[in-house]
Structure 1
């Protein structure tokens, strides 16, 4: 087994998702994930504290990009326009590998209560990052929280649509996330 190979984190995530889908989350061990990824258990633990953490690989980066996009939105933009800027910024890091992994990850999460719980915590973290960025722009906290929740929902809906469409179209995630945000904005207007 090689001491170092590129993209170790990605290979560990893919190996875990594949194993979770094939044999279930509970039946999958860290040793099996490491073996499938072509690394040692100690290498696994240099990247993740446990197998649950595989689900949130990249969450810190995603949260940071969402917040940066919101912070860098033009000064006159309202909360949802700033959220759209955050979605565009974060979507830029999502590549074909994320798109291909999406349906398998969704199936693995759906089959495990523990992964569903971890996914919910990930959602809370993304919303908190966006809320903080909006508050820093001077948006009242309640409005910021609502806009952030819509942003998270738009990201998740956009990602689901993007990952379920033809993978050969070459289109990035941003148009899907922004379309989902527009749909949500229209839906909230009908609530009044």
Structure 2
């Protein structure tokens, strides 16, 4: 591919993921990613701060979508229902990227540094969701509890979705996990 071809960011992400899966995250350099994508290192750094960010580049958009959906929930909705609506809105964004999500998670699971980065990004999601709930008038500790619970539901549903051999949508696992949470919370 020539350097003038479109979607440099996507090409870099695909090249990085391929290399990470082939050789492991630690063994891959930015130069190798750029070369595989048919681009320069300079182009890589225009799109990503470092080779880790290739795997986490969408976290800002994910946070915006999550918060936007929470903000758009009906004013009368209970905090957990606001969180559920936000999670279901986010799940739609993942649906077309099922195989990428599986591969990305395999790379992250094989590297402690990436696992730490993933937890940091999830903590940022929780903090943003907590703030959205506070803006809706949810007092503490309710806002934090609902947000943290939502992130836990997201993590459980995501793991189940990427591990599943069926064709169920991510939203199915979100709903199922929320249902399990309600059963556990009810003491049943």
Q: Secondary structure at the match of 1:163?
A: helix
Corresponding position of 1:109: 108
After superposition, give the CA deviation of every residue in 1:40-67 in whole Å (9 maximum; x if it has no partner): 2111111101011122111111001111
Residue 71 of structure 1: aligned partner? 71
Bigger Cα displacement from structure 2, 86-95 vs 143-152 = 86-95
Partner Cα distance (1:49, 1:160) in 2 = 27
Deviation at 1:117, TM superposition (A): 1.1
CA distance in 2, matches of 1:38, 1:95: 28
Q: Is 1:172 paired with 2:160?
A: no
2:135 is equivalent to residue 136 of structure 1: yes
How do 1:2-81 and structure 2 match up within 5 A? Answer: 2-81=2-81
CA 1:6 to 1:90, structure 2 compared with 1: closer, same or farther past 3 Å?
farther
The answer on whether the counterparts of 1:87 and 1:178 sit within 8 Å (CA) in structure 2 is no
Say whether the 8 Å CA contact 2:108–2:115 is kept in structure 1.
yes
**Runs of 4+ off more than 6 Å:** none
3-state SS of the aligned residue for 1:49?
A: coil
**Mind listing any 5+ residue stretches in structure 2 that lack a counterpart?**
none
Unaligned runs of 5+ in 1: none
- Give the structure-1-normalised TM-score: 0.88
- Residues 81-160 of structure 1: pairs in structure 2 closer than 5 A: 81-96=81-96, 98-160=97-159
Per the normalisation by structure 2, the TM-score is 0.90
SS at match of 1:92: helix
Native 8 Å contact 1:87 1:155 kept in 2: yes
Which stretch has the larger CA shift, 38-47 or 56-65? 38-47
